[in-house]
Amino acid sequence: MNPTVNKTILNNGVRIVSMTMPHVHSVSMGVWVHVGARDEAEAEAGASHFIEHMIFKGTARRTAFQIAKEFDAIGGQTNAFTSMEHTCYHARVLDTQLGTMVDILSDIFLNSVFDGKEVERERPVICQEIGMVEDNPEELVHVMMGPAFWGDHQLGRSILGTRENILGFDGPAIRGFFKRLYQPDRIVIAIAGNVEHRRMVDMLGPVFSTIAAGNGFAPRTTPAAGDGIRMKHRELEQTHVCMGMKGVSVADPRRFSASLLNTIFGGNMSSRLFQTIREERGLAYSIYSFLNAYADVGMFGVCTAVAPKDLDAVVDLIMAEIRRLKREPVSADVLRDAKEFTKGNLLMAAESPDNQMVRLAQNEFYFGRTISMQSVIDDIDGVTSEDLVALAESLWGSGSVALTLVGPGVDRSDFSGRLFL
């Protein structure tokens, strides 16, 4: 259950963390930076995501085509993602191709040229990505929840940025953001699979130790949870709904209770929301709850899509289930099933080198150490029904729920007084 984990810190602060999984034939590696959309000034919004695209657009040694061709030639899977707090460049290959993967990932991370012509080519691609989100009401209702819940704070912005910013970025601006924020003590290289730690340090150490220390990092600010209402009219068959309320941070000791509360509320097919709204009343095809957790704050949310005529009824049913969680302890059977569901998903995910690579990096960023799976299981098993009621009351004891809607016209006044916790 607890494979071998090793950690090395280079002289400049770059951390290399690896997990040896000798039963697999592949290696997953991610170069992580503790920099994301919440670290951008307003005029920089979208820069982290733009860099994610540009990393693959050429180095002093390789063109964009050569990068893609070399990864394809070894049967590798490579990608990148940007979140509010991180940016990650990752790949997975057979263990026999480890050296090639390390060489390519190191090259694109350390030697990308951010060529002006490539920036020009990538601008319309990212604008198209923004358009794809705007055309998809299921995604758009989530993006709208950002400013509804977090207001003008960076957490309320779209990770993609704005079209105005994207069209204004050039090579020097992107390069400057990269050099200023991609500091060595913010970098974690996480590796999981059939790999030896010493070999990884020997391969990565000489190249990543060349990154010069930065001039410090502006502290992140913590936003307050809000209860805004945002609506966007679209001529659709359904009204897409997202509701947001206070959650817990990534490192909050109550995170295990929050995970179980989410499972019971709307995290699977036997959850209260799914059974009440879909199975018993047939008011929605899909309904689920979710957790968005950050270093210092979090949001607990619900998302669904319903016929416009059923919107009022569904909102009232969701609110009733929230209030029920605050006043009624869940039964022993329900809590036991939620624990087994959660533990089962964790243990099955642990069989994947990709998932273990992600877990290594996140544990390092948020806790500074690896937390064993057995420790997590023990903490889940230790949650009581009383813990769930206490958490629900603590989070949702007063105030209102934030709401975003995309679909046929509705009036803001329709929800006056109905979203009160």
Kindly state whether residues 54 and 9 are assigned to the same domain. Answer: yes
Q: Where are the beta strands (DSSP E) in 235-359?
A: 239-246, 284-293, 298-306
Q: How far apart are CA 44 and CA 162, in angstroms?
A: 9
Q: Where are the beta strands (DSSP E) in 106-247?
A: 187-193, 229-233, 239-246
* Residue 237 among the catalytic residues: no
- Say if residue 202 is in the same domain as residue 236: no
Residue 125 is part of a domain; what is its CATH number? 3.30.830.10
Q: d(Cα 405, Cα 191) in Å, to the nearest integer? A: 41
- Residues 250 and 198 both lie in one domain: no
- pLDDT above 90 covers what percent of the chain? 93
Cβ 30 vs Cβ 92: under 8 Å: no
The C-alpha angle with vertex 39 and arms to 162 and 356, in degrees rounded to 5, equals: 105
Query: Residue 37: which of 52, 56, 54 has the closest Cα?
Result: 52
Q: Average the pLDDT over 200-228 and give the result.
A: 92
How deeply is 7 buried, as exposed, middle or buried, from its count of CB atoms within 10 A (0-12, 13-18, 19+)?
Answer: middle
The DSSP secondary-structure symbol of 32 reads: E
Same structural domain, 187 and 279? no
pLDDT band at 217 (very low <50, low <70, confident <90, very high): confident
Q: What confidence tens digit (pLDDT) does each residue in 331-344 have?
A: 999 999 999 999 99
Alpha-carbon torsion (26, 32, 38, 43), positive or negative: negative
- Indicate if 201 and 271 belong to the same structural domain: no
Tell me whether residue 421 is in a domain: no
In this structure, the answer to whether residues 75 and 174 fall within a common structural domain is yes
Q: Comparing C-alpha atoms, which of 409, 399, 392, 400 is closest to residue 229?
A: 400
pLDDT greater than 60 at residue 31: yes
Question: What distance lies between CA 351 and its chain's CA centroid?
Answer: 20
> 3-state DSSP call for residue 85?
coil
Which of 40, 44, 52, 321 is flagged as catalytic?
52
Q: pLDDT tens-digit profile of 59-114?
A: 999 999 999 999 999 998 999 999 999 999 999 999 999 999 999 999 999 999 99
- CA atoms within a 13 Å half-sphere pointing along the CA-CB vector of 151: 8
Q: Please check whether residue 219 lies inside any domain of the structure.
A: no
Average pLDDT of the segment spanning 242-249: 97
Cα 62 to Cα 354: distance, rounded to the nearest angstrom: 26
Q: Which amino acid is at 197?
A: H
Tokens 């936003």 correspond to what residue?
Answer: 223
Tell me which amino acid residue 270 is.
S
**In this structure, what DSSP letter does residue 96 have?**
G
State the residue range of the domain holding 24.
4-208
The Cα angle at residue 267 between residues 265 and 269, in degrees rounded to 5: 100
Token match 């770059």: residue? 14
Is residue 273 classed as helix, strand or coil in its secondary structure?
helix
What burial class does residue 129 get, using C-beta atoms within 10 Å of its C-beta: 0-12 exposed, 13-18 middle, 19+ buried? middle
* Mean pLDDT estimate for the chain: 95
202 and 325 share one domain: no
Structure tokens of 333? Answer: 């059977």
**353 neighbors 92 (Cβ within 8 angstroms):** yes
Q: Where does 10-100 show beta strands of DSSP type E? A: 15-20, 26-33, 77-82, 87-94
Q: Domain for residue 215, yes or no?
A: no
- pLDDT per residue over 155-186, tens digit each? 999 999 999 999 999 999 999 999 999 999 99
H or E stretch at 7: strand 4-9
pLDDT of 206 > 70? The answer is yes
Looking at the structure, do residues 280 and 325 belong to the same domain, yes or no? yes
CA distance 58 to 419: 50
Structure tokens at 194: 């059939």
Q: Note whether 202 and 235 are same-domain residues.
A: no
| Cα gap 160→139, rounded to integer Å | 13
pLDDT surpassing 90 at residue 265: yes
Q: Confidence band (pLDDT; 50, 70, 90) for 1?
A: very low
Cα three-residue angle 400-265-135, rounded to 5 degrees = 70
Query: Does residue 201 register a pLDDT over 60?
Result: yes
Question: SS3 for 269?
Answer: coil
pTM greater than 0.75 (yes/no): yes
The count of domains in the chain is: 2
What's the Rg (C-alpha) of the chain?
23
Q: What is the pLDDT of residue 412?
A: 67
Q: Tell whether 243 and 350 lie within a shared domain.
A: yes
> Do residue 256 and residue 183 come from a single domain?
no
User: What is the C-alpha to C-alpha distance for residues 104 and 340, in angstroms, rounded to an integer?
Assistant: 41
**Is residue 96 situated within a structural domain?**
yes
Q: Is 94 a member of any domain?
A: yes
Residue 228 to residue 405: CA distance in whole angstroms: 11
The average pLDDT across 250-259 equals 98
Which of 158, 173, 208 represents a domain boundary (last residue)?
Answer: 208
Distance of CA 310 to the CA centre of its chain: 31
| 411: pLDDT strictly greater than 80 | no
Q: Which residues of 304-332 are buried (b: 16+ CB within 10 A; e: fewer)?
A: bbbeeebbeebbebbbebbeebbeeebee
Domain boundary among 158, 176, 208: 208
